[in-house]
Amino acid sequence: MTTSDEGRDTVRDDPTREAATIDATDRSPDTAGVDPTTFRAVMGSFLTGVSVMTTHVDGVPHGMTASAIASVSLEPPLVLVCVERTTLMADRVQEAGVFALSFLAGDQAELSNRFAVGDREEGESEFAGVATRTAMTGARLLEGATGTLDCRVYSIADGGDHLVVIGEVVGADVGSDAPLAYYRGGYGAFRRG
């Protein structure tokens, strides 16, 4: 990682420079034995925000709690979200080609729990009693969120047992200023110091 502004400008402004790639067959034996339980515990030590990812296929909505999210690019505006391959969302987002993210506020932990349950009802009943509005792509946005992004699928890549879904942002709104935080298996509210 480059720490000087000068180094970043050189990389950004040099269109001939190619991104580095790592061949999966070249993995060092030093990293091959990481215990999944330990890995999960360590990653749980990284404070994250919480969102609900939504999409729709033939007008039927679907939602899922997601916290593995990151901005990718400003030009064009791209965001990524990781979706477990075995979830209904993995199928739906590929079929729909669109999705939205609603970043939950500190008082919306119940919505995070609701959309994290695997055996919940689908379609309209999945959103019963949840205040939403419809984004430009047709995906649902949850009211009261700290921010929302409406996206068209830009690309989908293999990420082990997850899909790495990259979306091109076609709509964005800033909402409340008190986000829901998730840390070591529990919720909290972030407050500025």
- pLDDT value of residue 44: 74
Which amino acid, residue 50?
Answer: V
What sign results for the dihedral spanned by CA atoms 59, 117, 41, 37?
negative
CB count within 10 Å of CB 103 equals 21
Give me the residue spans of the domains in the chain. Answer: 49-182
Under 8 Å between Cβ of 63 and 157: no
**How would residue 42 be classed by pLDDT, with cut points 50, 70 and 90?**
confident
- pLDDT value of residue 105: 95
Question: Span 39-46, mean pLDDT?
Answer: 78
Return the DSSP state at 121: -
Under 8 Å between Cβ of 180 and 67: no
Distance between CA atoms of 66 and 45, rounded to whole angstroms?
16
Is the pLDDT confidence value at 2 over 60?
no
101-151 confidence digits (pLDDT tens): 999 999 999 999 999 988 888 899 999 999 999 999 999 999 999 999 999
Distance between CA atoms of 190 and 193, rounded to whole angstroms?
9
154-172 confidence digits (pLDDT tens): 999 999 999 999 999 999 9
Which residue did the predictor score with more confidence, 188 or 57? 57
Which residue did the predictor score with more confidence, 22 or 118? 118
Cβ neighbours of residue 6 under 8 Å, at least 6 residues apart? Answer: none
Half-sphere exposure of 102 (CA within 13 A, CB side): 28
**How would residue 25 be classed by pLDDT, with cut points 50, 70 and 90?**
low
Three-state secondary-structure class, residue 111? helix
Distance between CA atoms of 147 and 153, rounded to whole angstroms?
19
65-74 confidence digits (pLDDT tens): 999 999 999 9
Please give the CATH number for the structural domain made up of 49-182.
Answer: 2.30.110.10
- pLDDT value of residue 11: 36
Distance between CA atoms of 122 and 71, rounded to whole angstroms?
29
